[in-house]
Structure 1
């Protein structure tokens, strides 16, 4: 079943959106397929897909310890998926380019 009110059955991403819902990467009844994805969201998707693994908490100045992205970012840094934008910032709200996304995916799968 398609839980999303904004995903047409014949959309090329329909199957992938339903898969993401089943894997609990997304929730609710609105998918927002045309919304941009941030660095924090991209890393969070990978973290959720990896099963919420534990990692030492990173101390980026722009990521609050209680942020929804905090553990995901810590895990991604610990796994070598990213090192952040600078030594002390991650830029979780910066939009991810396709280049960033494939780099994160490549490093996560390596």
Structure 2
């Protein structure tokens, strides 16, 4: 049994009719979301988690920024290598590699 294809031209005309004119602007990127009561309760129960993780890490603000910078660089290097844009033959020594990324 062969299925019929939808009428694309009719669908396209309906979309064109629904689109705003040049003088009208519709920003479809705006969304309004709210937590459910269960979500709000979960948020409240987990408020202490980020500070507890920070305390457990035991690093100062400058040290955390350095670690974040190195992790971003590591991520960039791995992504570049995976996409074939990395430099070298894979035998780089510690501390060398693609250009540093900034936070």
- What range is the shorter-chain TM-score in? under 0.3
For normalisation by structure 2, the TM-score amounts to: 0.25
Rg larger in structure = 2
Task: Name the structure with the higher helix share.
Answer: 2
Q: Which has the higher contact order (CA 8 A, sep 6+)?
A: 1
